[in-house]
Amino acid sequence: MADLDTDFTSGDAGASLTFPMQCSALRKNGFVVLKGRPCKIVEMSTSKTGKHGHAKVHMVGIDIFTGKKNEDICPSTHNMDVPNIKRLDYQLVGITDGYLSLLKDNGDLREDLKLPEGDLGKEIESKFESGDEFLVSVLAAMGDECPIAIKPMSS
Amino acid sequence: MMAAVGAPEVISQLESAAKVLMAPPSMVSTEQRQHAEHIFLSFRKSKSPFAVCKHILETSKVDYVLFQAATAIMEAVVREWILLEKNSIESLRTFLLTYVLQRPNLQKYVREQILLAVAVIVKRGSLDKSINCKSIFHEVSQLISSGNPTVQTLACSILTALLSEFSSSSKTSNIGLSMEFHGSCKRIFQEDDLMQIFMLTMEVLQEFSRRENLNAQMSCVFQRYLALANQVLSWNFLPPNLGRHYIAMFEATQNVMLKPTDSWRETLLDHRVMDLFFTVHRKIREDSDMAQDSLQCLAQLASMHGPIFPDENAQVTYLAHLVEGLLNMINGIEIEDSEAVGISSIISNLISTFPRSVLTALPNELFASFINCLTLLTCSFGRSAALEEVLDKDDMVYMEAYDKLLESWLTLVQEDEHFPRGCFVQPAVQVFNSYIQCHLAAPDGTRNLTANGVASHEEEEINELQEDDRELFSDQLASIGMLGRIAADHCIPLLTGLLEDRVTRLHGQLQRHQQHLMATADPGTVDRKVLDDLYEDIHWLILVSGYLLADDPQGETPLIPSEVMEYSIKHSTEVDINTTLQLLGSPGEKATSIPGCNRTDSVIRLLSAVLRTSEVESRATRASLTGLLSPQMGKDIVWFLRRWAKTYLLVDEKLYGQISIPLSTAFGADTEGAQWIVGYLLEKVINNLSVWSSEPELANDTVELLVTLVEKRERANIVVQCENWWNLAKQFASRSPPLHMLSSSVQRTLMKALVLGGFAHMDSDTKQQYWAEVLHPLQQRFLNLINQENFAQICQEEAVKQEIVATLEALCGIAEATQIDNVASLFSFLMDFLSSCIGLMEVYRNSPETVNLIIEVFVEVAHKQICYLGETKSMKLYEMCLTLLQVYSKNNLGRKRLDVAGEEDQYQDLLLIMELLTNLLSKEFIDFSDTDEVFRGQEQSSGAGRAVSAADVVLYGVNIVLPLMSQDLLKFPSLCNQYYKLITFICEIFPEKIPQLPEELFKSLMCSLELGMTSMSSEISQLCLEALSPLAEQCAKTQEKDTPLFIATRHFLKLVFDMLVLQKHNTEMTVAAGEALYTLVCLHQAEYSELVETLLSNQRDAVIYQRLADAFNNLTASSTPPTMDRKQKQLPLSTPSTTQRSLSPCQTMEMLSAAQAETPMGLQTRMPPERGERPAKAERGRPVGHDHLSLI
């Protein structure tokens, strides 16, 4: 994950981290902010109190970075925050002190992303050491950034 | 093996094994338990165990061992029947019966098992002329006349065991005999023995019903015989000449109606039989258990029909007696809760069984009393059902009884032309009134009032899975609606009056709230109680009105119900048309404030009452009172309007013999009324979509109303003349608020409606303009966006992503609008998009949610359009899908995702891809494409050589899917199903492509088939078996040996052989497995012989060896050598357990008993229906393995 003190306005100046959307317009597989965290909606259902009550939306989401489950219930007329999600592919050109050196499309280099922990990190390291050329997909939302996938470079 | 050991050793071995089995789980190990089970299994398979078993029964004190001995006798008798001396069988039976008689203190489960053995012997002997088992009835009648309750109970147990055994229902024991055998036994039994049992039972019941005071023990005996009588009267009489396939279906019927053969005439047409049951019921009605049996006996008698009645007169006399008895029974008593369902069953059975002509032939007075009684009962059960709801009872007996009676009313009045004119009007009024009363709040009604008049008002959480009342109570509402039509003169004005009153009150209440809110500005202080009561009243009034005025609009063209039409015509002379139109056209005014409102058409006035409700709702939304409204009421309104519009709007005079002038003037084609109402409905839809976007169900009902308005060309023609329609179209095209806040499914349906509207009749300029405003903006916006130079940079911006998602959703909606007459233009429109979509796949390769939606667009297009497409167009679609899959594959190959949503995303992609492939394949079965187009297509397709076939696309797709499928993913049931459906389709449709598959793909396909056959659900297993025949046929066609497919099919032969002969399998699979085995045997005859040889060589006993060998010979005798001729396959070569389909009963019996003795797991002929009783019996101590007769 990116360091918290990273200046996250540098990427897209002025772009807000979230935008509002009426609860009923959210969709399963879409994204929403639950408990302050960007989540992917894995379950959505409605209910009402009494036969003539108004709909409430019950949402279950999983934190896209940590996998933690979050739930919320709110009147369906309310607005919820939806995170702006970005996914970018970078070519991996180096690993230094646990940080990835990633090549942007425009030729710039960024070196602010840590080598992730766990299986993906190990895979990145071993692939890199064996000289494979590959892309790293980075997921960014609400100021957090995290490599989530790798893919061999298509020749 | 047992024979070699002395009896005392056997007993001690069995007794210690029993101790292990009975021990608490913590005391014995699994191995010990299995060993003990094995001891019993092999004991039961031992040869001629009769002497040992007798010895056990006489000496052992362990109940479980006694039980096993009885079981062993039962199984061995059937297995060795033809080898046994007849008199030894006879003496065995006598021994068992005497044994039980002499030991009154036996454990119940041991006694029942011994009696079961007796019953099985009697049954097995019933077809064998050399042995006479009839003396048992004589013995039983002596037991009964003993007067000793214990002995009488035992007699009852014997009879019950016989009945269960001969009924060939799920209660019959699994003794491994053929369906024909069971059928023949049953036919003989029901002509003679069953009647004897019935007579014996009747004697006992008569005897008991005469006695004044019954002690507990006697009462218990009484109850058992009553239950036995019920069992006889519920006998599913097997008609003569019923084919073997039908027997299985027949025996599976629930709710058996009594249809005895004519030999029962004297017995059952004797009035004393029926009288006895009425007397019995009167005597025991306070005992709720016994009352259920006695009422069930009467209900069975009420269902009697068939050859037992010599003529209609006999039926009339019988029915008259039944109805008299029933009325005598009910009148003057207060019905117990436990009687409600039984009494309503008697009534519903007699109404559905006896023909109208018999009912009308009843004496007038009797018929009138019956109808009167039915009316009172219905109203009373309805009130009690309402009470049950208030008290939230678990067991809703009155609701069930009420449902039955309402259904009976529907049966009665649907054919009311047979009855005296108007005879149902008054009853209909009463039942209708009581229904309305139960559903309205006090003071007019009694809703939510408990018996002592206290109101209960609870607000419970209702989730989206809970059905709406209109579906939950659809049967009740259909009956009430029908009764309302019968008594239209009363019911239509009643509903109108009540609804107008509630709407006026609602209006007033909302106004008061508005003033209150303006004064305090605190919505929290609003008391919703009064409002909710009004909403609930209106809810029910609208539902009943909807069901009364129109039928379920699922059919093509629902007609105005004739009663409603006649009612309107009858009063049309008193009606002022102009006032009626004025009333209709002014939903904002109070109906009663219109001068002359009493001279208006009542049918139209009821509709306009709903329109008034709708208007109050719309005005409240404009006054920002939406929060106070009921979305449920909103749903009711649009539901009603949709149902109404399908039937009444643009009423077509040609469809009716006579038509009501008010109705045709107000709603006919080319009338101002019709135009006005279309405009009104459209305005309602638009208003709802903007204020109710947050209520998914209401928005959905609303948009469905819109679809109804445009899906018929005639209605659409008027719709497109409305300015509002164009505004809606423009608004949606511009994606401006509030329509974009609707849920995605509502947006799709809205798009569908807008497209359907475009096919209405318009002059060409207008049409061009319409498409320019509806579809072209979609295309334009999309092209502008994706053609921007920096699209790749901005594609991740939220606004851009939303635009893309909205476009894809709209494309799905457009595909949904496909009909045969618009497919040509929609297809070309969509094709332009599909190629751009493939480009998007590339751009959004990292956004799984977008990729998913893109695939969904393809799924929808293939689903809705492929069946209409000619060759050239199909080809284009195939190519497009192929490209899509290639891009998907390229982007996902080698890609490793380790984030949290990875698996779920992949699952959804795969599911959609398989759905897409299945949709493409469906072209092979469902094809509506015009042959003309096919010809034109051939002329056009210059490069026919590079044409892509469905097979190529599908196999390519499978190539992508297979490597991604993992055992984990197959745990998603929907994915697993879709996957196996797909591969079975492929094997069936393109067997010739299978040998050409790349090696890896071929291997995984075969592995999948084996996995599916052996370790998935029976449904999947069946699919896999179905895939095998075409593969074997393919091999036979090419004649090539040693191809991978040839080798694979050889492996499958062994699998299927083992499955059928050696393993327990589900009968549902017999047909598929039989067919697969047949073709596989044809292909690999040598290997089949080897399998049979191996099986035989394991058998050391010469007699049994011969029986088994003969059985296998018989199996193939009809077709040696077997060939893969289509016709032959209809008579599939049967494995021992499927022989019932091709061998005579005797052969089958012979073979099965032989095979049971031989094969490792044992064979079984399962009696359909599935043995529902099995678990209960197992609990009673039946050992594991009983139901597959394992005998080695």
* pTM value > 0.90: no
A46 and B464 within 8 Å at the Cβ level: the answer is yes
- B694 neighbourhood in chain A, CB within 8 Å: 22-24, 54-55, 75-77
Distance CA B246, CA B228 (A): 27
Q: Which amino acid is at A67?
A: G
Measured CA distances, B215 to B149, B183, B219, B222 (Å)? 11, 41, 6, 10
Tell me the shortest Cα–Cα distance from B393 to chain A, in angstroms.
19
Scanning the structure block, which residue is given the tokens 């044809």? B1082
pLDDT score recorded for residue B170: 56
Average pLDDT over residues B522-548: 88
Tell me the shortest Cα–Cα distance from A70 to chain B, in angstroms.
13
A-chain residue closest to B633, CA distance: A52
Tell me the shortest Cα–Cα distance from A127 to chain B, in angstroms.
12
Phi and psi based region of residue B380 (left: phi greater than 0; alpha: psi -120 to 50; beta: remaining): alpha
Q: Which amino acid is at B1055?
A: L
Q: What is the DSSP string of B879-902?
A: HHHHHHHHHHHHHHTT-EE-STTH
**Top-confidence residue, B414 or B662:** B662
pLDDT score recorded for residue B417: 78
pLDDT score recorded for residue B763: 87
Enumerate residues 6+ apart whose C-beta is below 8 A from B989.
B921, B924, B951
User: Which helix (DSSP H) or strand (DSSP E) does residue A110 occupy?
Assistant: strand A109-114
Residue B411 has pLDDT above 60, yes or no: yes
Distance CA B474, CA B465 (A): 17
A27 and B462 within 8 Å at the Cβ level: the answer is no
DSSP code of residue B1060: I
Distance CA B378, CA B410 (A): 12
- B741 neighbourhood in chain A, CB within 8 Å: 22, 24-25
pLDDT score recorded for residue B721: 92
| Cα–Cα nearest to B810, from B779, B849, B832, B836 | B779
Angle ∠(B1185,B1186,B1191) on CA atoms, nearest 5: 80
pLDDT score recorded for residue B42: 87
pLDDT-derived band at B490 (thresholds 50, 70, 90) equals very high
Average pLDDT over residues B1028-1043: 86
- A30 neighbourhood in chain B, CB within 8 Å: 849
DSSP code of residue B668: B
| Cα–Cα nearest to A57, from A48, A69, A65, A68 | A48
Two tokens, residue B589: 């005014």
A24 and B693 within 8 Å at the Cβ level: the answer is yes
Q: Residue B598, SS3? A: helix
Distance CA A147, CA A87 (A): 9
State how far Cα B515 lies from the chain centre: 52
Range in B120-129, B313-322, B846-855 with the lowest mean pLDDT: B120-129
B-chain residue closest to A31, CA distance: B849
Average pLDDT over residues B137-153: 87
Distance CA B607, CA B234 (A): 48
pLDDT-derived band at B893 (thresholds 50, 70, 90) equals confident
Tell me the shortest Cα–Cα distance from B979 to chain A, in angstroms.
22
The pLDDT tens digits for B40-74 are 988 988 888 898 999 999 999 899 999 999 999 99
Scanning the structure block, which residue is given the tokens 């296998």? B1112
pLDDT-derived band at B1136 (thresholds 50, 70, 90) equals very low
Residue B133 has pLDDT above 80, yes or no: no
B1136: preceding bond cis by omega (within 30 degrees): no
Tell me the shortest Cα–Cα distance from A36 to chain B, in angstroms.
18
- What is the Cα Rg of chain B in Å? 37
Distance CA B245, CA B223 (A): 37
Two tokens, residue B841: 């796949």
B536 and A62 within 8 Å at the Cβ level: the answer is no
Tell me the shortest Cα–Cα distance from A34 to chain B, in angstroms.
16
**Top-confidence residue, B739 or B295:** B295
A87 and B535 within 8 Å at the Cβ level: the answer is no
Residue B271 has pLDDT above 80, yes or no: yes
Tell me the shortest Cα–Cα distance from B626 to chain A, in angstroms.
10
pLDDT-derived band at B1051 (thresholds 50, 70, 90) equals very high
- Looking at chain B, how many residues does it have? 1192
| Cα–Cα nearest to B117, from B129, B128, B127, B125 | B125
The pLDDT tens digits for B476-486 are 999 999 999 99
- A139 neighbourhood in chain B, CB within 8 Å: 899
Distance CA B957, CA B917 (A): 7
A139 and B899 within 8 Å at the Cβ level: the answer is yes
pLDDT-derived band at B537 (thresholds 50, 70, 90) equals very high
Torsion of CA B595, B600, B606, B611, to 10 degrees: -50
The average confidence (pLDDT) of chain B is 84
Residue B773 has pLDDT above 80, yes or no: yes
Distance CA A39, CA A80 (A): 12
Q: Give the number of other CB atoms < 10 A from CB of residue B478.
A: 17
pLDDT score recorded for residue B1162: 32
Residue B1103 has pLDDT above 50, yes or no: yes
pLDDT score recorded for residue B1119: 58
B462 and A51 within 8 Å at the Cβ level: the answer is yes
pLDDT-derived band at B1130 (thresholds 50, 70, 90) equals very low
Enumerate residues 6+ apart whose C-beta is below 8 A from B199.
B267
pLDDT score recorded for residue B96: 93
Q: Which residues pair with B674 in a beta bridge?
A: none
B896 and A23 within 8 Å at the Cβ level: the answer is no
Distance CA B1043, CA B1079 (A): 17
Residue B1100 has pLDDT above 60, yes or no: yes
The pLDDT tens digits for B1071-1083 are 788 888 888 988 8
Distance CA A136, CA A150 (A): 5
A62, A87, A151 ranked by CB distance to B847: nearest: A87
Mutate to test the interface with B, among A54, A89, A153 (most CBs of B within 10 A): A54
Two tokens, residue B144: 């009964």
A55 and B696 within 8 Å at the Cβ level: the answer is yes
Enumerate residues 6+ apart whose C-beta is below 8 A from A55.
A24, A46, A47, A48, A75, A76, B631, B694, B695, B696, B697
For CA atoms B997, B999, B1002, B1008, give the dihedral sign: negative
Low-confidence ranges of chain A (pLDDT < 70): 1-15, 154-155
Residue B1153 has pLDDT above 50, yes or no: no
- A120 neighbourhood in chain B, CB within 8 Å: 896, 898
Mutate to test the interface with B, among A51, A108, A124, A132 (most CBs of B within 10 A): A51
Residue B171 has pLDDT above 80, yes or no: no
pLDDT score recorded for residue B1053: 92
Range in A88-97, B724-733, B854-863, B900-909 with the lowest mean pLDDT: B900-909
pLDDT score recorded for residue B1137: 35
CB pairs under 8 A between A and B: 132
Scanning the structure block, which residue is given the tokens 């309805």? B382
Residue B198 has pLDDT above 90, yes or no: yes
pLDDT score recorded for residue B1181: 30
Range in B628-637, B838-847, B1058-1067 with the lowest mean pLDDT: B1058-1067
B899 and A154 within 8 Å at the Cβ level: the answer is no
Q: Give the burial class of B1039: count Cβ atoms within 10 A of its Cβ; 0-12 exposed, 13-18 middle, 19 or more buried.
A: exposed
Average pLDDT over residues B223-232: 94
B694, B696, B897 ranked by CB distance to A149: nearest: B897
Q: Are B1107 and B80 in contact (CB under 8 A)?
A: no
Highest mean pLDDT among B242-246, B599-603, B820-824, B866-870: B599-603
Q: Which amino acid is at B625?
A: L
Q: Are B322 and B274 in contact (CB under 8 A)?
A: yes
The pLDDT tens digits for B419-472 are 888 889 999 999 999 999 999 998 888 888 776 666 666 678 888 888 999 999
Q: What is the ipTM of this complex?
A: 0.87
